[in-house]
Amino acid sequence: MAYTYLITGATSDVGAALIRHLLTEAPGEDRTILAQGCGDLARLDALVQQFPGRIVTFDADLSSPEAVDALCARFGKDLPCPTHFVHLPALPVVNAKFKAFDEARFQKDWEIQVHSAVKLCKAVLPAMSKAKFGRVLFIQTSYTIGCPPKNTAAYVMNKSAIGGLVKSLAVEYARFGITVNCVAPSMMETHFLKDTPDLIVQAAAADNPMGRNATPEDVAPAMAFLLSEEARFITGVTLPVTGGSAIV
C-alpha cells in the first residue's frame, strides 16, 4: 500500500527526525512525505537531497486561517490525500508569569496549534474514513501530565486543547479504522527552547531520572510506532516519552 504522510511543523527538529525515521525504517515501502514549513523550508534541504523524490515541501502560514483553508483545498488536487497526518507546529515556549500573559501571542499559538488542527482534520478525515484506514498523531507535552511547571499557562492551555481533540476524534473515528493519538515528550533540547533560560533546561535534565533531557531521536520511534500497522488497536492515548519524569 502506498502511504502519504502529511507532517505539519516538519521543519522542526522533531519533524526532521520523524521524516528520517519513516524513510529509513521501511525502505521497501512506498512512502511519500508532504512536509509543511513556514519560511524555513531550507531546514529540510539535506533530507530532500538524501531521499530524492520522496519529500514534497510546501510553505504555509498556519497562523492564518485563510492560508490553512487554501492548503486544505489542495488535498485531492495538486496534493494527494494523506493516509497519515502528523501535527507538530507550535510557537516556542515562553516562561512568563500569568500577570504578564500575552493574549496576542496566545491567540497566534492557538491558531497554529489548535485551529489549524481542526481545519486540517476536517479536510483529511473524510478520505481516511472512505478508505477505512488512517493515522492521526499530535504532539503534546509532559506538562499536561500531572502538575505542570510554573509560568507556562499559555503553552499548557493549547496543549490541553489538543488532548481534548484527540480523545474526541479517537472515539468518533475508531469505527472507520482511524487511530488518533498523542506523544507527550518531556523537555527536548532543540531550537524550540531558544527562548527558555539555560538554567531551566539544565534543571530539567538534572531532575530527569535518566539524568538528561529528551532528544528528537528518542521521540521519533515512539511516533513511528503509533503511526504503524502494529498500533492499529491503540487510539485515544497520550504516550509519555519522558525518561520517567512523568508517569501515567
**Which has the closest alpha carbon to 37: 20, 54, 13, 21?**
13
Judge whether residue 204 has pLDDT over 90: no
231 to 89, 133, 157, 161: CA distances (angstroms): 23, 12, 28, 24
Told to judge if 155 belongs to the known catalytic residues of this protein, a careful annotator would answer yes
* Residue 23 neighbours by CB under 8 Å, 6+ apart: 31, 33, 51, 54, 55
**Cα Rg, the chain, nearest whole Å:** 17
CA distance 84 to 73: 17
CA 202 to chain CA centroid, Å, is: 24
Which secondary-structure segment (H or E) carries 240? strand 238-241
Residue from 91, 99, 219, 209 nearest 159 by CA: 91
pLDDT at 147: 85
Q: Which domains, and CATH codes, for the chain?
A: 3-241 (3.40.50.720)
Whether the CB-CB separation of 58 and 39 falls below 8 Å is answered with no
Sheet holding 178-185, edge to edge: 55-59, 31-37, 3-8, 84-87, 134-139, 178-185, 238-241
Is it the case that residue 93 has pLDDT exceeding 90?
A: no
Question: What's the pTM value of the predicted model, to 2 decimals?
Answer: 0.95
Give tens-digit pLDDT for 98-115: 999 999 999 999 999 999
Q: What is the pLDDT of residue 187?
A: 84
- Residue 83, SS3 per DSSP: coil
User: In the chain, what percentage of residues exceed pLDDT 90?
Assistant: 81
Does 193 score more than 80 pLDDT? no
Q: Kindly give, in sequence order, each residue whose CB lies less than 8 Å from that of residue 123, ignoring residues fewer than 6 positions away.
A: 71, 72, 75
Q: Smallest Cα–Cα separation from 68: which of 34, 106, 111, 39?
A: 111
User: Which one from 5, 143, 155, 173 is the annotated catalytic residue?
Assistant: 155
- Kind plus residue range of the DSSP H or E element containing 25: helix 13-25
Confidence at residue 188, expressed as pLDDT on a 0 to 100 scale: 86
